[in-house]
Structure 1
Amino acid sequence: MKRFQSWAARLTAAAIVLVAATGGIATAQAETVKFGAAPWPGVTVKTTVAQKILEAIGYDTQVTNASWTIALQAVGRGDMDADLGIWMPTQKSTVEPMVKSGKIDLLVKNVPDAQYDVVVPDYVWNAGVHSIADLNQHADKFEHRIYGIEAGNDGNQIMIDAIKNNTYDLGDWDLRPSSTAAMLAEAGRKIDKKQWIVFLGWKPHWMNIKYDLKYLQDPKQIWGGGSAVYTAINPMFKKDNPNVARFLKQMVVPSKIQSGWIYDYGYKEQPADQVAERWIKNNMDRVAEWLDGVTTADGSGPALAALKKSMGS
């Protein structure tokens, strides 16, 4: 019994030293922060920015690229910790049941001003096409076509349903699915010639920098109203890793910034690592907001100071 009491006393003393040194009881921290990510340019660079910051403050990171549904399911199972690319409301039918069942938490709108809708070039807008309801008045100029992206995409389906139901008098229109690259190539050709085109557009994306586009009004809200991109996180990871969770919750990116990342990475084809590191170095004021109250992985000091030291600034 005396031996046990002596051992317990030493353990208590060690705990007191630990509290004194760290300012509180140490919390469990993940050795590796695991991200699931759809292979979309915006998600790729945004996740790389998060990686660079986390690694600079002492964490290891890992990214698994997969379709957005598979990546999100992995977060729900705990195989992955977080996913920075959840589009709402277009992915609502999959995401909402996982939130209600407690498999994931939607931590923050990391791109609060995102948009996914139908777009036209500025010269078409200036000619009077301001709403999806205006399209059919100029059907011949559009050749009764709406250009979409990959078959099965939620945006395609919204417009297919509108055509099927004759919403906005689109009953004799056609949705032309293709790859995103092919759709944007067709848009680029028509824009260069000032020809009329209507297609699926979204921000953040480099298309908003390359072209002067206008998002059409949707008075019947077939697109579900305003869009946002969320960070999904595994609830247990969030509970066990409050330091990482705080950083991810504070990592909010206006669409204009992410469109710039996508332009450099997806259009100019610069490496994601290069785009991310250059942006971090040149935007420490914004990064400081993301790291407010965040410490290094070992709790030894402020995360921002460690990041600046790592970046040589």
Structure 2
Amino acid sequence: MNPAKLSLIDAEELARRLPMARAIAALDEALRAGLDPEADVPRSVLDVRAGQLLLMPATSSSYAGVKIAAVAPDNPARGLPRIVASYLLMDAATLCPVAMIDGSALTLLRTPAVSAVAVDHLAAADAERLVVFGAGPQAWGHVEAVRAVRPISSVGIVARRPGQAAELVERCRSTGLPAEAVPSQAVSTADVIACCTTARTPLFPAEAVADHAVVVAMGAHEPTAREVDTSLVARATVVVEARTAALREAGDILIPLRAGDVDTGVIAGNLSELVRGAVDVAPGRPKLFKGTGMAWQDLVVAAAAVDGAP
């Protein structure tokens, strides 16, 4: 390995190389070109004293890559990020390292970009009211991402900590986007609802969600945690990143499945099928996109950052 040829891409450089709109486009194009999310390698999870270590490898015809992510629940109390990660991108033919990327910044880019791909194919063209649950980095990323695909004119922030909510409201307003802290009941006014929390139980009742609304639930990747209730899963057109991942990790789907309240047929399609127009999106029903985070997403975005660098 020649260190002089290894690109080191920190958060600032990643943002310069790959703005949100281009990350969304890269993911959409990869899915249209035939990428199969069902073939993704399952992440390995190791429980450690401070939390969890996640190992997420993926390959394509051009690149191989692996993200090592650490989830440390006590970090925010120490003034540190809850999730920290590193990403190594390698040439597929030789497996020689090509770039080392700030994995936390990569996650903060690719996760909302994936959500935005789903929103772009599920939400009404004139969707303008966004309600976000959570006020952390992913919440801001989802504001930015949804705004890239829909004409969002106002944002409501639902958060447990008033200080964090106020900071996110101000960040939205600083970009010219009207925003305010709102109670959870504000979901009834939303065209798009983004759930970006560490909640383990549902954030709002299904009956509060309008028939035309799109709900994105991306805050949990554990079989015992969920952000939306059983009634919403049963009522909505449900799209997942991949059936394999959802049936392995997505508590939002697995909890009602195990209770016998729904069956696997509740999943209308995966993200690839949605992008290719192969999902029957029924009118008069809300839409639910459930994401857990997958390794192919990191690889696609990392490759786009390297290949598209000016």
TM-score, scaled relative to structure 1: 0.26
Q: Which has the higher helix share?
A: 1
Which of structures 1 and 2 has the bigger CA Rg? 1
Which is bigger in relative contact order (C-alpha 8 A, separation at least 6)? Answer: 1
